[in-house]
């Protein structure tokens, strides 16, 4: 059974940077796609970034494009989200997710992912 565990969240000032990690156990990110989502109080979970394993192509929400970078390590067992230029609106609980058969049209849809981490909290102070 694939399990995901996020880490790296914390408190950062506006304009600062954080790097989130998502370690996978019971499998790897060798197929399908993996993504990062976030959820703020009172809001729906939203897509942040995703990456496909077969071609390494990355996709981003417009709100984070140019500031965030999604990647994996060579062993394909850790997913990262490098976040720069953080803004107050980036504050949320961040979740990593994985699905072994995801297609492009489903990448941004949280209900299409089979595996989720427990989340890590990012707080941005002004």
| 20-51 confidence digits (pLDDT tens) | 999 998 877 778 899 999 999 999 999 999 99
CA distances from 72 to 14, 57, 82 (A): 26, 11, 11
User: How much is the mean pLDDT over the chain?
Assistant: 94
Q: Tokens 């399990």 correspond to what residue?
A: 3
Cβ proximity of 61 and 67 under 8 Å: no
Q: Rounded distance, CA 75 to CA 9, Å?
A: 23
Q: How crowded is the C-beta side of 64, counted as CA atoms within 13 Å?
A: 25
Residue 73 confidence class, pLDDT cut points 50, 70, 90? confident
State the pLDDT at residue 27: 78
> Which burial class, exposed, middle or buried, applies to 123 when counting CB atoms under 10 A from its CB (0-12, 13-18, 19+)?
middle
Strands of the sheet with 3-7, listed across from one edge: 3-7, 18-25, 78-83, 68-72
């Amino acid at each position: 059974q694939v399990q995901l565990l996020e880490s790296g969240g914390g408190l950062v000032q506006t304009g600062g940077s954080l790097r989130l990690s998502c370690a996978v156990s019971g499998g790897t990110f060798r197929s399908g796609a993996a993504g990062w989502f976030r959820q703020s109080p009172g809001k729906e979970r939203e897509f942040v970034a995703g990456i496909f394993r077969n071609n390494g192509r990355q996709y981003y929400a417009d709100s984070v494009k140019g500031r965030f970078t999604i990647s994996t390590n060579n062993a394909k067992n850790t997913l990262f989200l490098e976040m720069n230029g953080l803004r107050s609106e980036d504050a949320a609980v961040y979740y990593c997710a994985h699905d072994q058969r995801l297609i492009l049209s489903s990448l941004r849809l949280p209900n299409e992912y089979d595996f989720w981490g427990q989340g890590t909290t990012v707080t941005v102070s002004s």
